[in-house]
Amino acid sequence: MGGMIIPSITLNDGTQMPQLGFGTWKLEQDQAYTSVRRAIEVGYRHIDTAAIYGNEVEVGKAVRDAVAAGDVTRDELFITTKLWNNQQHEPGVAFQQSLQRLGLDYIDLYLVHWPCPKQDQFVSAFEGIARIQGLGTVQSIGVCNFYAEVLRRIIAETGVVPAVNQIELHPGFPQLELQNLHRELGVVTQSWSPLGQGSLIDDPVVAGIAAAHRRTPAQVILRWHVQQDLVPLPKSGNDARIAENFNIFDFHLTQEDMVALTALDSGRVGPDPLEFPA
Ligand code: A2P
Q: Ligand 1: which residue has its CA nearest to atom 10?
A: 197
* Per-residue pLDDT at 1: 45
Q: Is the CB of 185 under 6 A from ligand 1?
A: no
Burial class (CB in 10 A: 0-12, 13-18, 19+), 93: exposed
Contact 258, 224 (CB under 8 A): yes
In ligand 1, the atom with minimum distance to the C-alpha of 196 is 7
Rounded CA gap, 60 and 99, in Å? 9
Helix (H, G, I), strand (E, B) or coil at 116: coil
Residues annotated as catalytic are 53
- Spacing, Cα 258 to ligand 1 middle (Å): 21
Instruction: Name 163's Cβ contacts closer than 8 Å, sequence gap at least 6.
Output: 11, 12, 13, 15, 109, 140, 141, 142, 187, 188
Task: Read off the amino acid at residue 234.
Answer: P
Report pLDDT for 3. 54
CA of 162 to the centre of ligand 1 (A): 28
Structural domains of the chain ordered from first start = 10-199+230-237 (3.20.20.100)
Q: CA of 126: how far to CAs of 115, 158, 160, 259, in Å?
A: 10, 8, 9, 35
pLDDT of 144 reads 98
- Ligand 1 pocket test: pick from 190, 221, 238 the residue with the most ligand atoms within 8 Å of its Cβ: 238
pLDDT of residue 233: 98
Write the burial class of residue 267 (CB in 10 Å: 0-12 exposed, 13-18 middle, 19+ buried). exposed
Which residues have a Cβ under 8 Å from the Cβ of 181 and sit 6 or more positions away? 148, 151, 187
Residue 46, annotated as binding a ligand = no
Ligand 1 near 241 CB (within 6 A) = yes
Secondary structure of residue 74 in the 3-state scheme: helix
SS3 content of the chain, % helix, strand, coil (to 5): 45, 15, 40
The reply to whether ligand 1 has any atom less than 6 angstroms from the CB of 244 is: yes
Burial class (CB in 10 A: 0-12, 13-18, 19+), 9: middle
Q: Is the CB of 23 under 6 A from ligand 1?
A: yes
Is the model's pTM score more than 0.95? yes
Q: What is the mean pLDDT of each run of 10 residues along the chain (278 residues)?
A: 78 98 97 98 98 98 98 98 98 98 98 98 98 94 98 98 98 96 98 93 96 98 98 98 97 98 92 95
How close is the Cα of 193 to the center of ligand 1, in Å? 9
Q: Report the nearest-CA residue for atom 21 of ligand 1.
A: 241
Please indicate whether residue 21, judged by its CB atom, sits closer than 6 Å to ligand 1.
Answer: no
Asked whether 195 lines ligand 1 (CB < 6 A), one says yes
Closest CA to 178 of 133, 144, 148: 148
What's the CA-to-centroid distance between 241 and ligand 1, angstroms? Answer: 7
User: Which residue, judged by its Cα, is nearest atom 9 of ligand 1?
Assistant: 197
DSSP 83: E
